[in-house]
Chains A and B, each alone.
Chain A
Amino acid sequence: MMRRIYLDNNATTPVLPAVLEAMRPYFGEHFGNASSIHHHGQETRAAVERARDSVAALLGCRASEIIFTSGGTEADNLAIAGLTSPGDHIITSTIEHHAVLHACKHLEETACDVIYVPVDGHGLVDPDDVRRALRPNTKLISIMMANNETGVLQPLEEVGKIAAEADAYFHTDAVQAAGKVPIDVSRIGCDALSISGHKMHAPQGVGALYVRKGTKLQPLFYGGRHERSRRAGTENVPGIVGLGKAAELAMQRFECGDDSRMCALRDRLQQGLLAQVEESGVNGLGAPRVPNTSNIYFDHIEGESMVIALDLKGLAVSAGAACSSGAIEPSHVLTAMGLRKHRAHASIRFSLGTQNTGEDIDVALALVPETVARLRELSPVSKKQAVTY
């Protein structure tokens, strides 16, 4: 049996054993509807509220400011649609996740004006661009905390100040930051912040939106008065419990320095690859990044072939964005950073999780250079075309 190594934790992470254990009773003996008044409901209500406390602790907010959702996409949509009205102006960036980008595009087509601020070659938004984009009717600024492809951390505190001065709401998609770097909503100065369970070792299908107390939020859909009438629908109790447990574990990892351990592994992988492979480099190098992500270009290769070749050898990484068929499309993030098409196509994302070990990195350091060499040898790009960058 081939040894499989997973370095695609920005796509999803494995549920940690302790998280699974915490969830397990809520699939069986504790099955109650958290809205029920009887014993069964009280049991699950208590579990949901304990989880809310844990998530609030992770984000530095009040428990009552947390809304559980079906995931990061719903949290982003709830914030963007819920904080704006027809005629409003929205500022976001070109490197947002599609959950934000397409939600904004939809509003742009129907009711709102949207400005997409660019990023520089490091993948950073310039807060001055945000300031310049302000209009009297700017209602919402949505800038992500950490980019999913490069891991680059955006200057949120400055954006938060700009939003406050302009009296606009500030939402941040922190899906790729949560559990990787400490988050404090009051330091960021945001009114809303999205997280997703499965990017931080909780299961798929659960997420949360922080919404600052007193903020008026339109719900996305209508039904019962769950989540203080902000998110109708019976709570996904096992998922929420898992998210709560994952939040606790993330805080423990910060305390014991697991983030620096991961950062050391990531840096060893990155430096090893750059040392062994010529004409390679890190996208977003020089900007602050989350400790688990490294997006590396290997000129003259096709990222798509690389991902397949590595998968067939047991190493899971990613390149670009998967479209509905499963084919890979060039990353809008890398092209927004100004990468030429060939280099965007030649970029691979390595993203670690807390489960990864030094041995995993050793295997990757052995497999990747030999695969790059094979691809380059067989590449029509490197032979036929003199590519200028």
Chain B
Amino acid sequence: MTGLKTIAVAMSGGVDSSTVAAMVRAEGHNVIGLTMQLWNQRRLAGREGMPEQVTGRCCSLDDVYDARRVAEHIGIPYYVVNHEERFEREVVRPFVAEYLSGRTPIPCSLCNNHLKFDQLLVVAQQIGADCVATGHYARVEYNDARGRWLLERPADRSKDQTYFLFGLSQDQLSRTLFPLGGMTKPEVRDLARKHGLALAEKPDSQEICFVPGGDYKLFIDAYLAERGESLPDTAGELVTADGEVIGEHHGIHNFTVGQRKGLGVATGSPLYVIQINGADKQVVVGSDDHLYSRTLRGHRVNLISVDNLREPMRVAVKIRHRHEPAPAVLEKIAGDEVLVTFDQPQRAITPGQAAVFYDGEIVVGGAWIA
């Protein structure tokens, strides 16, 4: 980094982004702390299945309080920006709609694409910042030879968040800093302690931020009830891979590919959800073997390290956040659609999740699994 910049830090009130703020501040940059108010936890509190008290982590007043205290401690201006409307439109509603059509969504990627690296970048620019720094574990750097901004895996593999960042455009990457890319989590906590941050020991957040307790089904019920909408009837048949009807289910949104529990049928050998057919509301079950597949189709592809896929490319593909990238061939089939052919069949390729393509450390790009 050359010269001093004005940097907006996206502060969530957690250890990572707080440490980022302290780091860039210590480097002498002009730093502005921003917290995005994305979801009002009190909206659904007390509804059936939802906790009476606000317990979720997202945008809780406690987190804003923590972020504000950090900003004050390190001596930077701090503001909360309200993006609740957009978050609901771009993240929450699609999240609900995806489940109701039998897919398994990743709200974090939507949030990154439509809020953190879109709206927040706009606000940051408007208020005079050159770029936005976040607490994501990933690296971004400009590659002269390729003439492109590259997204790369971080030093701490266990914290790798590149899977959620595959949707970033070149423009977005050019104005983004990931100061934690070269650090491990314990190093980050150490640094937080060195900067005297009171939240250095604060536990990591794990669950989907706006779903209290992690039960998305209860969230969907409460959300639709709050909006005065009824849960669409997606009940239907439980069928085997051969088309034999072996039971009924109460709604396709209760299932995820690979799921074993809660099928409501007892058979000799373990049964898994192998496919969900949104159109005819069928949940297809089968043995573990049926879960394996060698190919996947991805759509709405976003390419980062290359500008186009002119010929098939050897990559490693990650099909869910906790998945070791598996060797595969990536090829374009039409427009923004790609075909991934794995060397070895992969278990539980799940529509709605992302397939992210890696070339060693480098993120080639990603697509949504169709």
Contact = CB atoms under 8 A, between A and B. Distances in A.
Contact of A305 (B37, B61, B64, B126): B126
A309 B37 contact: no
Given A326-B80, A327-B80, A309 B64 contact: no
A366 interface: no
B81 A311 contact: no
B367 interface: no
B301 to A, nearest CB: 23
Contacts of A374: 126, 128
A278 interface: no
5 contacts: A305-B126, A308-B81, A323-B37, A327-B80, A375-B126
A305 B123 contact: yes
Q: How large is the interface on A (under 10, 10 to 19, 20 to 34, 35 or more residues)?
A: 10 to 19
Interface string B54-66: 0000010100100
Given A304-B81, A304-B82, A312-B128, 4 more contacts: A312-B32, A312-B127, A327-B37, A378-B126
A379 interface: yes
A137 to B, nearest CB: 31
A325 B77 contact: no
A379 B123 CA distance: 9
A379 B61 contact: no
Contacts of B59: 325
Given A302-B123, A379-B122, A380-B122, A325 B80 contact: yes
A349 to B, nearest CB: 16
Nearest to B126: A305
Contacts of A305: 81, 123, 126-127
> Which of A305, A325, A375, A380 counts the most chain B CB atoms within 10 A?
A325
A312 B79 CA distance: 11
Interface of B: 32, 35, 37, 59, 61, 64, 68, 77, 79-82, 84, 122-123, 125-128
Contacts of B64: 325-326
Given A325-B80, A327-B80, A309 B122 contact: no
Nearest to A376: B126
Contact of B82 (A311, A329, A380): A329
A328 B80 CA distance: 8
Contacts of A323: 37, 82
B41 to A, nearest CB: 10
> Which of B59, B68, B77, B79 counts the most chain A CB atoms within 10 A?
B79
B37 A378 contact: no
Nearest first, the 4 closest Cβ-Cβ pairs linking A and B are A327-B37, A327-B82, A326-B80, A327-B80
Interface string A304-325: 1100110110000000000111
B296 to A, nearest CB: 33
Contacts of A325: 35, 37, 59, 61, 64, 80
A328 B82 contact: yes
A312 B126 CA distance: 11
A305 B122 CA distance: 9
A2 to B, nearest CB: 11
Nearest to A329: B82
A319 to B, nearest CB: 10
Interface of B is mostly: mixed
Contacts of A312: 32, 77, 127-128
> Which of B61, B64, B123 counts the most chain A CB atoms within 10 A?
B123
A329 B81 CA distance: 10
Contacts of B35: 325
Contacts of B128: 309, 312, 374
A311 B126 contact: no
A324 B64 CA distance: 10
Nearest to B36: A327
Contacts of B84: 327
Contacts of B125: 378
A186 B342 CA distance: 85
A341 to B, nearest CB: 9
A311 B79 CA distance: 10
Given A324-B61, A325-B64, A309 B81 contact: no
A278 to B, nearest CB: 18
A326 B37 CA distance: 9
Nearest to A313: B128
Contacts of B61: 324-325
A329 B82 CA distance: 7
A309 B82 contact: no
Interface in A24-40: none
Nearest to B121: A378
A311 B126 CA distance: 12
Contacts of B122: 378-380
A324 B126 CA distance: 24
A311 B33 CA distance: 13
Contacts of B80: 325-327
A379 B81 contact: no
Contact of B77 (A311, A324, A327, A379): A311
A312 B59 CA distance: 24
Given A325-B37, A325-B59, A325-B64, A308 B82 contact: no
Contacts of A304: 81-82, 123
> Which of B59, B81, B127 counts the most chain A CB atoms within 10 A?
B127
B116 to A, nearest CB: 15
B54 to A, nearest CB: 11
A218 to B, nearest CB: 30
A211 B84 CA distance: 42
A346 B84 CA distance: 17
Interface in A346-389: 374-375, 378-380
B84 to A, nearest CB: 8
A380 B79 CA distance: 21
A308 B128 CA distance: 10
Nearest to B79: A308
> Which of B37, B61, B84 counts the most chain A CB atoms within 10 A?
B37
Contacts of B126: 302, 305, 309, 374-375, 378-379
A327 B85 CA distance: 12
A61 B312 CA distance: 87
Contacts of B127: 305, 308-309, 312
B11 to A, nearest CB: 12
Contacts of A328: 81-82
Contacts of A326: 64, 68, 79-80
Nearest to B40: A323
Contacts of B123: 302, 304-305, 308
